Amino acid sequence: MSRPKIIGGNIASFTVLSNSDAFLPCEAVGNPLPVTTWKPSARQNLWLPCTGQGSPQPAIHWVLQDGTMVRSNRPARESKISMYENGTLHIQDVTPADSGKYECIATSSTGSERRVVTLTVQKQEANRTVIKDVAAKYSRKLIDCKAEGDPTPSITWIMPDNIFLRAPYFGSRVNVHHNGTLEIRNVRPSDTAEFICMARNDGGEAVMVVQLEVTSMLRRPIFRNPYNERIVSRIGKTTILNCSADGHPMPEIIWALPNGTRITAESDHSSRHHLGSDGTLIIYNPQKEDSGKYRCGAKNLMGYIEKPKGVIRSASGDPLFLHCLSDGSPRPMIYWTIPGGHTFTRPQVLGRYQLFENGTLVVQDTTLHDRGNYICRARNNAGVAVVTVPVVIIAYPPRITTGPPPSVQTPLWRDSETSTDTQSDVRCVGKRHFKRKNFFFFP
């Protein structure tokens, strides 16, 4: 007896052209004859070589895992399994169902020899994404499915009743557009189900599962009290900060502490900060260092809102800096809408306005016309968050703006030493001065 040995070494490397056929030989020797095992991925073509030597030249045939015998014939497109003249077995588009033992038999007048090949087809794991979405009853719902690849993937939607709709498809109530977007008109409660988008090309497939929920009514979150509050608390006395919101589905309340820590329903409640079921933030044993601004936000599947940070005041002529920080996955895009209605959708410089990559909007040389509400929107595939920032521009106090200061005549007096008349010029310069006050607000 001898251990099996693969002829040519343990590692082999082959270079083939994209979309071309590949023949992978695997020859082994040993006593008794070793069993050869192949493990291809699903949806590939497979060739199992089997050559025989002898005098006279032996005839080759294969016995499949179900007992079917395959003899030499020309490969046929309509046949999943065929055999070449040289004894190579060809299996098209292998699937896990093709796994099993394949026996190659070489027969001549002097006897026969057998070789067993064990085939294990590994299921190809698809790139799978699961998202949740909502739609209002009787509304029109669009679900995007964008895919990239080379070659360009084909898009197929699998409906809840297991019907396959390949793009483009246009029906009475359901359409699949050329770009892969699924359109459902007149949404029904029965549309609460899973819709599967499958993108496939020669390189494989990717799957997106959309869990759609149909509700009778959808509403973005809205605060019952949208204004900021100032809370004064005693050291050591438990303090409760209110934040209640309505919406459908019912919004989740999120608090941000002055140090940036976020408090949610899933946060560790072992600290001194506790989120109540009604959205209130409870601060146990508050200390002086707990003073500061506490921000409250509310989110549901329709969006996210946050209480305004208060009125932003800027002096006319000064630059105005408006910050809009956001997080999310994927990273949100920041949009700013200025009081005149213009929207900045990307980092850019436009006149006195500049939008930075981090979401900060800068307005240079502000005037009274720049006052109003500035709206920041953070958008990604999961939804939109909106924050409105009121801005007040303060005009200059009175100042002297005419040309060169006039000469002011002073009473004549006589210099005791020179005994000459003297005239003096007095310049009057106006400056602006604003007194700043700091307040701590607990929204």
Any residues with CB less than 8 A from the CB of 284 and at least 6 apart, and which?
A: 238, 272, 273, 274
* Of 312, 324, 308, residue with least CA distance to 225: 308
Rounded to the nearest integer, the mean pLDDT of the chain is 76
**Domain ends where: 200, 215, 230?**
215
Q: Residues 172, 149: one domain?
A: yes
Residue predicted with more confidence, 443 or 129: 129
Which pLDDT does position 414 carry in this prediction? 43
Q: Is residue 324 part of a domain?
A: yes
**Domain ends where: 296, 330, 354?**
296
Overall pTM > 0.75: no
CATH of the domain at 366: 2.60.40.10
Domain count, the chain: 4
Q: Residues 96, 20: one domain?
A: yes
**Quick check: 46 and 91 in contact, CB under 8 A?**
yes
Q: Which domain holds residue 362?
A: 312-394
Q: Is residue 40 part of a domain?
A: yes
- On the question of pLDDT at 13 being above 50, the answer is no
Q: Is residue 422 part of a domain?
A: no
CA 175 vs. chain centroid, Å, equals: 25
Which pLDDT does position 329 carry in this prediction? 63
Q: Residues 326, 276: one domain?
A: no
- Sign of the CA dihedral running 308, 313, 317, 319: negative
For 232-271, the pLDDT digits (tens) are: 778 888 888 888 888 888 888 888 888 878 888 877 655 7
For 284-322, the pLDDT digits (tens) are: 888 888 888 888 888 887 777 877 666 677 788 889 888
For 59-118, the pLDDT digits (tens) are: 888 888 888 888 876 544 457 888 888 888 888 877 777 888 888 888 888 888 888 888
Q: Residues 138, 32: one domain?
A: no
Q: Is residue 176 part of a domain?
A: yes
33-37, 378-382, 420-424 — most confident range: 378-382
Q: Is residue 434 part of a domain?
A: no
For 324-373, the pLDDT digits (tens) are: 767 666 778 889 999 989 999 889 999 999 999 888 899 999 988 899 99
Residue predicted with more confidence, 273 or 16: 273
**Residue 443, CB-side half-sphere exposure with 13 Å CA sphere:** 26
Q: What string of DSSP letters covers 144-209?
A: ------SSPPEEEEE-TTS-EEESSEE-SSEEE-TTS-EEESS--GGG-EEEEEEEEETTEEEEEE
Q: Residues 342, 363: one domain?
A: yes
Q: Residues 194, 227: one domain?
A: no
Q: Residues 245, 211: one domain?
A: no
Q: Residues 349, 269: one domain?
A: no
Any residues with CB less than 8 A from the CB of 125 and at least 6 apart, and which?
A: none
Q: Is residue 428 part of a domain?
A: no
For 271-286, the pLDDT digits (tens) are: 788 888 888 888 888 8
Q: Residues 105, 21: one domain?
A: yes
Which pLDDT does position 290 carry in this prediction? 85
